[in-house]
Structure 1
Amino acid sequence: MTGNVPQETSSFVGRGAELGRLEGALARHRLVTLTGPGGIGKTRLAQRAALAAAEADTGGGPGEADTGAPGGAEREAGAGRGHFPDGAWWADLSTLDSSELLLSTVSDAVDLADHSLRMPLDALSEWLADRRLLLVLDSCEHLIDACAYLVGELLTAAPGLTVLATSRRPLGSAVEELVEVLPLPADGPDALALFTDRVTDRLGRAPLAEPGAAEAAEAVCRRLEGIPLAIELAAARVGSVGPGAVAEVAEGLGSRFDTLASPGYAWPRRHQTLRTTIGWSHELCAPLERLLWARLSVFRGAFDLAAAQAVAAGGPLGAAAVAPTLERLVAQSVVRRIGPGAEPGTGTESGPGTLPTSGNGNGNGPAHAPAPAPAPVPVSVPATAPNAGSGDRYRMLDTIREYGHTWLCELGEVAGTQDRHADYFTGLARWADAAWSGRDQLLGYRRIEEAHPDLRAALDHWLDHDSAAAAELAGLLVYFWTCCGHLKEARSYLERALEQHTAPGPARTRALIGLGATLTLQGEYDRAADISDRVQAMVAMRGDSEDLAAAACLTGLLGMLTGQSRTALDAVREALGSAPGYVPGTLRSHALDSVPGSAFDTPDRLRCHLVEVLSLTALGDFAEGRARALELRRHCVEIGEVWTRSYLDYQLSVVALFSAEPEDAVAYARTMLESKHLLGDSFGIALGLDLLAAALAAAGRAEQAASVYGTGGAYWRSVGHPQRGAPELQPIRDRCERTARAALGDDGYAVAYTRGAAAHGPTALAAALLPDGVGHE
């Protein structure tokens, strides 16, 4: 299945006729909006329709999801695959408080990691222009005007695009086909089946065999008018399968509705029914359960127990009481358990799918390469790390979260709870930043990725209340933003934080360096150079060696991407030389001699060593570049660091290619791509695919090379740039491409190239990493 539609975590009951009507509407109309009140089942219906559409187009089934980008630059590649040959893609808008990040969220959803200076809407429109896909925008009601405008622009720019929206009210477009989602028939079998199914899930067997249970369940469904969320909340109140259990729920509901019934009540009937049911569930909660419900409403995305304890504990709700109280809310369907997050071990359990390994099987590059490095050390979570628990994650449905937030406001606890929320996620960012250059790098990356909606919320909170904290958090997130391609989001937050926080100090310096790196990656070199000069002057006055290293990394990055490799080399060597006890020509300082297993003073010095290697190679000093890369790579493997190691593999592949060692170049490029896949680094993957294609061409495997060139071209398009990298490497890439084209002829090259481009995403990346001769015909 092509796309990113979330898999269902509970059974889908009924709605056969509605699904048929929705599928027909999607076949006839380019904008279909599912409307209805909260809790009516819009999201589940959209999810089932999107999964069915994606599976029909690929011939796949549940569990075969592919998280790659939409593929198929050539329309012929999708011929005969159904209505949406480029898949179904899901954008959850419920985590957004404003429209400012709407474009960023939708771009992320379709795997567009745009690094360019284009306007975000232009980049997204171009990305979708020649694709035939289904885009689901879930929960549009609080961003209705922005969503309506965005959808109108995208439908104009992308004739093959179909949009399915869910909203409590229409978008208001002239081309919109409205499909109202009604409750399940209250007297029909589906409502009763949903009630029975949810009780059975909790208790292990059906409750309706007891005398009078079926009649009581039918009464519950009638009282709740077939509203799915209300039925699920009622089912969660059935405490056993013994006699009278369902009847007790029916009696409790009846009393609640009789108490609240009022002829002058202003809510529409279905809204009143759901709100009354949620209020009934709230009333039946114990005081600590109601308090936890209210405090958990500040989370924008999924959270784990550690986060819940840090944010929601306090006063009568002690930290030790959070876990059992949370479990009781899960049992009552107030909170939903959605499965585990990133775990200790490899640090990649929640990351991209598994790819075939290359080289010698342990991520060390060519089996015959000089001085192979030892196997990587598995990732572990330090006991002091925020969010260190690796258990289940939880989430609230929007309607229930809104009720909890109303209660939080009544308690007068909004400000304090939001402060704790922002403090917790700032602490998580500090830990992940410190872990970036060590064995916990992948785990930290996954934790930050999972927490992305709440990190945005924390940034927004600090921007409103504490500019210094906003600048610190924005600076801490730079590596995540730049690796994941969230450059426009990074730029927006960094510029806002720097505008508000003008006092000199570490937070402002780091945010400035982050903005400079972001601008460099976007190609805005003049402004980046200005920031680099300002930062260099600032850190030179303070004389701090760590600040000097961080500033030198920015100067080095800018120099490498603008053909000034000598400037880059000089900058990082000067910064490295400023470290106390630094031993020239090595990776260590005397200060580290007493620290077993340590390779580097600081993460910034590690990156300075990387810039040194990259600059040496770009300047043509292959012997020293290779020696330094191999030494640095061994240290990276020893400490379990992945990001730097991936670029060292890139450089070792470049050196092998220039040294007429194409097989080593192929092996190192493939190992680099495995690491970049783990990090979700589209820019790095594009670089690696270009290099792998060149190495394959040099090795005489022209057809495989052309296919990989096509996959690389699709990735370059996803980051919004033509092929990039050090300018000095372009001639050999061009020469290898001409070699492959000459071997295949123009027509043969075009066929292979198109095949690679059409399969863009992890599927194509996996094909590029397959052993030679497998899957490339």
Structure 2
Amino acid sequence: MAAERRVGNLPEESNRLVGRRAELAQVTRACRRHRLVTVTGVGGVGKTRLARRAADELQPGFGDGAWWMELSPLSAGMEALPYAVAEVLPLADQSTRPMLEVIAEYLAGREALLVWNTCEHLVEDCREAAETLLAAAPGLRILATSRRPLGLPAEEVLTLDPLPVPGTDDDGAADAVVLLADRAAQAVPGFAVTDANRAELAALCRRLEGLPLALELAAARLREMPVTELNKRLADRYAVLGTTDGGTYGVRPRWHQALRTAIGWSHELCTPAERLLWARLSVFAGSFDAEAARQVCADARLPGEEVPALLGALADKSILTWVPTGGGERYRMLDTIREFGTFWLHELGEEAALRCRHRAYFLTLARAGDAAWLGPHQFAWYDRMADEHDNLRAALEFCLAEPAGHAALELAGALWFFWYACGFAREGRHYLDRALAADIAPSGARTQALWAAGLAAVGLGDAESAAARSEEGLAAAEQQGDDALDPALGAFVCAVALRGDLAAMEAVADRIFALPQKDDVLTLAPLFGLQVRSHALISAGEPAKALLHLERLRTLCDRHGERWTRAFGDYFQAQAELALGRPDAAQHHAREALRIKHRLHDRMGIGLLMDTLAVATGAAGQAERAAWLLGLAHQVWDTLGAPQMGQPQWVAARQACERQARTALGDHGYRLAFDTGHATDLDTGIAEALVPPDPAPHTPAQPGATG
């Protein structure tokens, strides 16, 4: 049965779909009958637009959602594809198993639609991924757009043609004319089809052969000239292009001639500065903001103060599109237009230099995030890095493609906070392992990459790898002084805590607190040391002593406006309060920690805190709400690709909470509350969980094995 709520991440439609009724019906019908449908066609023919509308119509029939993936930013094939799929679903990558296997297991019992947009540069990788996922998940459908089929036997291929154009004796409302007029009205307020311009509009549509992207580029030019002049100029250019096939254009992207006409002419009508910026912007993967464009693209030929106005001019010409985000204005270039820019960047001899500048900018950004992470702007840094995820991947792949891998070590290591704190531990380990293998010479960058890899392994629950990487990082740091030693010890104490060796945890914590302390700077080692010492004391049955260290941790964090580590402190304080028989206080601290973990999209942290909140709620005698919270928590664990985690005593507490709720509600009542939580939209459920329940008389239940 179709879900009542619409689940997924389909992007907003920026403008209306013109025509395509028959094609839309064909695609939706094919997706209901076939498990893999690929819409093919030349660049600019409207594959993305059609797939977006088809997905919107199909979405209500998929109870587990319709999920949109932009593949054009990916350049590394199967190296990056599974992580990108997991990120979109959203499926946290905190598992040590192959990512594609985790995705297949997650989708196995679900009814979902994946929409893969722009597959042509990753056809082999998409073919392998589709084959694996479709074999594992009977309820899965994949809708792909590509200039060529994926090549699987079960694939249904639908070829999309340009829009119908009016005949030479017909200047009526063919779909191409309707599209041109619609987009022209957006560019020129008040524009309308009249008896005076109808024939010229029809001729323009015929000249551009009904190709939607070409028509949209032409419509943007109507700001500057009447349709008669536009038609004449395009006619002249079309004649030139018709005589040059196999010449200069032979080395350009193989496009429909009408598209070459429209894009090439748009390029010629740009100012020299606009053309240069267009070429240089092609190095960005996905979207970018004005500051990144200025830093990467500006030089003596293209002054930085001119870049914002040039971006606006390119957007007005439909070369760039605006991307709405909560963190400010960003831009994106359509893939076909990016290809043209890449071609000209190569012709200018600037491609290598611009890719180096792109890498340098994002390395500088990562270093700034590293330096500022333990401070008051963590949410802003998370948002910034999430926005730049595609560009960070592209920069890492460029680093790793070079013979020397030192830059890859620097970039992957500087991003430790994004990998470990923001839910990308598996992808982080992937890049850190590759970077460490590429450059084995001792260096400060290698030391940081080693302890960062140790933290990534901690995030994955991989105790063996966490110990190996963090020990190697600590040994290297011991040769480099206290500044290098501090974060390395912080990573090492986390790896020790993962093994559950209480004596070793205390010993490493003692070593941390023997380091010189800096009151004006917050560093990893004391923060992690206080967490681990508190954890050890709670596990040893001394929660009251743990609260003293947690108070110190809270004071440190509050002094510097730090919230990520403060959330860990609240998590452990909730455990201590439970052990002391104070479930109301435990609920308060669990909610405070959950609020921060949710804001940082840390799914492992969300899962642990939902479990903790459920146990505390059950201990307060609220059995129905506890069962609902357990169901909501189970939904989180489903997305992690790993079993529920936690030290043995916390696992036991969770199991005791379930038993107590079943006893209080009966099997049927428990299952009803649990299933309701499991089916609740996660963000909606977390928002509800963050609201304290109304106090009610109750007989407190025992919290279970929390000590």
Structure-2 separation of matches of 1:615 and 1:170: 56
Q: Could you tell which deviates more after superposition, 265-274 or 490-499?
A: 265-274
1:313-343 CA distance string (max 9 Å, x none): 113111112111111111111111112452x
Q: How does 1:499-648 map to 2 (within 5 A)?
A: 499-542=437-480, 544-579=481-516, 582=517, 589=518, 592=519, 598=520, 600-648=521-569
Structure 2 residue aligned with 1:246: 227
* Superposition deviation, residue 625 in structure 1: 1.9
Say whether 1:116 aligns with 2:95.
yes
1:556-578 CA distance string (max 9 Å, x none): 21222221233223213312321
Structure 2 residue aligned with 1:659: 580
Any conservation in 1 of the 2:631–2:676 contact (CA below 8 Å)? yes
Structure-2 separation of matches of 1:713 and 1:315: 57
Among 485, 488, 501, the alignment partner of 2:423 is 485
Among 27, 31, 36, the alignment partner of 2:32 is 27
Secondary structure of 1:4 counterpart: coil
| Cα distance change, pair 732–264 in 1 and its aligned pair in 2 (3 A) | closer
Q: How does 1:216-231 map to 2 (within 5 A)?
A: 216-231=200-215
| Cα distance change, pair 536–269 in 1 and its aligned pair in 2 (3 A) | closer
Q: How does 1:238-637 map to 2 (within 5 A)?
A: 238-239=222-223, 245-262=226-243, 271-342=256-327, 391-465=328-402, 466-542=404-480, 544-579=481-516, 582=517, 589=518, 592=519, 598=520, 600-637=521-558
* Superposition deviation, residue 49 in structure 1: 1.6
Secondary structure of 1:719 counterpart: coil
Structure-2 separation of matches of 1:646 and 1:93: 34
Any conservation in 2 of the 1:186–1:224 contact (CA below 8 Å)? no
Structure 2 residue aligned with 1:78: none
Q: Which amino acid aligns with 2:20?
A: R
Structure-2 separation of matches of 1:549 and 1:612: 16
Any conservation in 1 of the 2:603–2:636 contact (CA below 8 Å)? yes
Moved over 6 A (4+): 266-270
Secondary structure of 1:474 counterpart: helix
Among 99, 102, 107, the alignment partner of 2:86 is 107
Among 184, 203, 209, the alignment partner of 1:199 is 184
* Superposition deviation, residue 17 in structure 1: 2.2
Q: Could you tell which deviates more after superposition, 496-505 or 726-735?
A: 726-735
TM-score by length of 1: 0.84
Any conservation in 2 of the 1:207–1:246 contact (CA below 8 Å)? no
| Cα distance change, pair 670–684 in 1 and its aligned pair in 2 (3 A) | same
Any conservation in 1 of the 2:183–2:219 contact (CA below 8 Å)? yes
Secondary structure of 1:204 counterpart: coil
Structure-2 separation of matches of 1:114 and 1:647: 20
Among 736, 745, 751, the alignment partner of 2:672 is 751
Structure 1 residue aligned with 2:153: 174
1:68-115 CA distance string (max 9 Å, x none): xxxxxxxxxxxxxxx211110111111111212111111111111132
Structure-2 separation of matches of 1:85 and 1:471: 42
* Superposition deviation, residue 732 in structure 1: 2.7
Structure 2 residue aligned with 1:349: none
Secondary structure of 1:641 counterpart: coil
Structure-1 separation of matches of 2:654 and 2:376: 33
Structure-1 separation of matches of 2:129 and 2:475: 43
* Superposition deviation, residue 736 in structure 1: 2.2
Q: Could you tell which deviates more after superposition, 252-261 or 462-471?
A: 462-471
Structure-1 separation of matches of 2:221 and 2:85: 37
Q: Could you tell which deviates more after superposition, 301-310 or 756-765?
A: 756-765
* Superposition deviation, residue 635 in structure 1: 3.9
Q: Which amino acid aligns with 1:217?
A: L
What RMSD over aligned residues (CA atoms) do the two structures have, in Å? 2.1
Structure 1 residue aligned with 2:657: 736
Secondary structure of 2:148 counterpart: coil
1:726-769 CA distance string (max 9 Å, x none): 33433333322221121112222222222222235223323333
Say whether 1:699 aligns with 2:620.
yes
Structure-2 separation of matches of 1:549 and 1:615: 20
Say whether 1:36 aligns with 2:17.
no
1:692-751 CA distance string (max 9 Å, x none): 110111111111111211121221221122221233433333322221121112222222
Structure-1 separation of matches of 2:465 and 2:214: 55
Q: Which amino acid aligns with 2:103?
A: L
| Cα distance change, pair 320–738 in 1 and its aligned pair in 2 (3 A) | same
Structure-2 separation of matches of 1:630 and 1:171: 57
Q: Could you tell which deviates more after superposition, 259-268 or 644-653?
A: 259-268
Structure-1 separation of matches of 2:134 and 2:156: 14
Say whether 1:725 aligns with 2:663.
no
TM-score by length of 2: 0.92
Secondary structure of 1:757 counterpart: helix
| Cα distance change, pair 327–635 in 1 and its aligned pair in 2 (3 A) | same
Among 88, 102, 119, the alignment partner of 2:66 is 88
* Superposition deviation, residue 133 in structure 1: 0.8
Any conservation in 2 of the 1:553–1:611 contact (CA below 8 Å)? no
Structure-2 separation of matches of 1:633 and 1:207: 64
1:539-570 CA distance string (max 9 Å, x none): 2333x223222122222212222212332232
What stretches of structure 2 of length at least 5 have no aligned partner?
A: 1-5, 167-172, 696-707
Structure 1 residue aligned with 2:699: none
| Cα distance change, pair 408–270 in 1 and its aligned pair in 2 (3 A) | closer
Any conservation in 2 of the 1:677–1:685 contact (CA below 8 Å)? yes
* Superposition deviation, residue 772 in structure 1: 2.1
Structure-1 separation of matches of 2:67 and 2:627: 28
Structure-2 separation of matches of 1:517 and 1:269: 46
1:174-213 CA distance string (max 9 Å, x none): 111122222111224432222222222233322545x733
Any conservation in 1 of the 2:410–2:445 contact (CA below 8 Å)? yes
Structure-2 separation of matches of 1:666 and 1:260: 71
Q: Which amino acid aligns with 1:700?
A: G
Secondary structure of 1:541 counterpart: coil
Structure-2 separation of matches of 1:178 and 1:464: 34
Secondary structure of 2:67 counterpart: strand
Any conservation in 2 of the 1:546–1:604 contact (CA below 8 Å)? no
Q: Which amino acid aligns with 1:405?
A: T
Percentage of pairs with the same residue:
43
Q: Comparing both chains, which one has the higher relative contact order based on Cα–Cα distances under 8 Å and sequence gaps of 6 or more?
A: 1
Any conservation in 2 of the 1:297–1:401 contact (CA below 8 Å)? yes
Q: Could you tell which deviates more after superposition, 107-116 or 86-95?
A: 107-116
Structure-1 separation of matches of 2:540 and 2:185: 68
* Superposition deviation, residue 161 in structure 1: 0.4
Structure 2 residue aligned with 1:675: 596
Structure 2 residue aligned with 1:131: 110
Q: Could you tell which deviates more after superposition, 645-654 or 760-769?
A: 760-769
Any conservation in 1 of the 2:369–2:381 contact (CA below 8 Å)? yes
Q: Could you tell which deviates more after superposition, 663-672 or 563-572?
A: 563-572
